Chain A
Amino acid sequence: MCDTCGCNITDGNRHLVSPGGRLAQTEDGRAAVTVLQSLLSENDHQAAHNRAHFDARGILALNLMSSPGAGKTALLEATIDALGDKYRIVVIEGDLETENDAARIRAKGVEAVQIATGSACHLDAHMVHEALHRLDLDGVDLVFIENVGNLVCPASFDLGQHLNVTLLSVTEGDDKPAKYPVMFRAADLMLLTKTDLLAVLDDFDTAQAERALRLVGSAAPVLHAAPRKGLGIKEWIDWIDGELEAQRARVAAGTTRRPAIQAEGARLHAANPAGGAHDHSHAHEHEHAHQHRHQHEHKHEHKHAHAHDHDHAGETGGGARS
């Protein structure tokens, strides 16, 4: 893939391979070999293979990332309650130790494979591939990968998922995107969780959290939810429905999508590499044009994104009273 198409040659390093660039020189007594390959090219190759497994079956794969305790497993439980009858779901759980999370998912009647990483702080594409071989993917609609709770390392490893969902619980502080820019840049959706606690927190400003997300260069939509209280689930499910439909359209068209990591490589893989003017949003514009065009247009506008945010806050409040 990336070894052959030239997508590793980016605007940032193109000058190094142009004639006269310093990599064109050879030092005496040594053979200098220009490589220009991602340090994780082996992982990325495996990730593309995993993604091909998903695409061949029309599966949408979502990678959930967050701090420990932000509510990834609770979100999955609520998702299974809401969608378990409609879609066939499987879950890959990543934790340092214990099968606790997988046991919670299995208690909901959904197949779950636990990857115990030992002391490794992230999942990688090879671990996910091993887990996939322990699952029967035939007839599956959705694969959720619950990554190791960690706001640093998981953002660097493509697993073969189509989309990243980064959870931020409101007890963690609204400045987390500013503190962990690599993680939040990787988000295709930022989901604020435990929003039922906003009423008793005086130091979490949801608008400030969204501003911090924009400042790390992300145009990802922001949703609010409190899964254990059943709040915000409808918006989350609507987002999944829209993305699953977009994935099925991609599969029908013979294309795929990579999550919002390594954005420049993805841009060069796109049909129109010259479309630089819409760089941050290109993947969504190409691939979400079916059902969610309106919603995805919102996120390009800072002002609109706020309006969107308020809508959800209102709906969440309504849910609390009902």
Chain B
Amino acid sequence: MHELSVCQALVQQLEAVSAANGGGRVELVRLRIGPLSGVEAALLSHAFPLAAAGTIAAGAELAITAAPVVVQCNECGASGEAAPNRMLCPACGGYRVRTVSGTEMLLESVELAAPADAGA
């Protein structure tokens, strides 16, 4: 269970993003999480309010997009979804594949209250 420490790192990033963009409150946080990232979306959702309490991100909504595991075959060029422990080409079944998606642990974007609101 390392999602709390990941959330603590996220809150630091949110504070920096806010400070660099007028200092508004963080209202919405969009994350993209792949199954091969090692973090669980549900656990992040539970840990985030704890990490964000008392910060500029307190009360922010967390919107998590689940990234699919997508591989592209180095042999036949086909690409498609795969399971985390069965990374085979969906077309030819080969194992020489490149991971296109699925490892993401990404802060995509942040929506901040307009700076005027923040000052109010």
**Is residue B105 within 8 Å, beta carbon to beta carbon, of the partner chain?**
yes
CB < 8 Å neighbour of B108 from A34, A122, A277, A280 = A34
Per-residue interface assignment for chain B, residues 108 to 120, with 1 indicating a CB less than 8 Å from any chain A CB and 0 otherwise:
1111111101000
Question: Is there a chain A Cβ closer than 8 Å to B58's Cβ?
Answer: no
- Interchain CB contact (< 8 A) of A27 among B39, B84, B105, B111: B111
Asked if B106 and A37 sit within 8 Å, CB to CB, the answer is yes
Contact of A33 among B1, B12, B112 (CB under 8 A): B112
Task: Find chain A residues with CB under 8 A from B114 CB.
Answer: 29-31
Nearest residue, chain B, Cβ from A150: B2
Cβ contact within 8 Å between B98 and A121? no
Contacting pair A216 B85 (CB below 8 A): yes
User: Residues of B within 8 Å of A, CB-based: how many?
Assistant: 54
Partner of B106, one of A39, A124, A179, A278: A39
Q: Is residue A56 within 8 Å, beta carbon to beta carbon, of the partner chain?
A: no
Q: A153-B1, A262-B103 are in contact. Are A215 and B86 (CB under 8 A)?
A: yes
**Assuming the A-B contacts A43-B9, A153-B2, A264-B103, are A34 and B85 also in contact, with contact meaning beta carbons closer than 8 angstroms in the complex?**
no
Binding site for A on B (CB under 8 A): 1-2, 5-6, 9-10, 12-13, 17, 21-22, 24, 27-28, 30-32, 34, 36-39, 67, 70-72, 74, 84-88, 95-115, 117
Extra contacts besides A10-B104, A29-B117, A30-B114 (13): CB < 8 Å? A13-B104, A32-B111, A35-B109, A36-B109, A39-B13, A40-B9, A156-B105, A181-B84, A182-B37, A217-B97, A263-B103, A264-B99, A279-B74
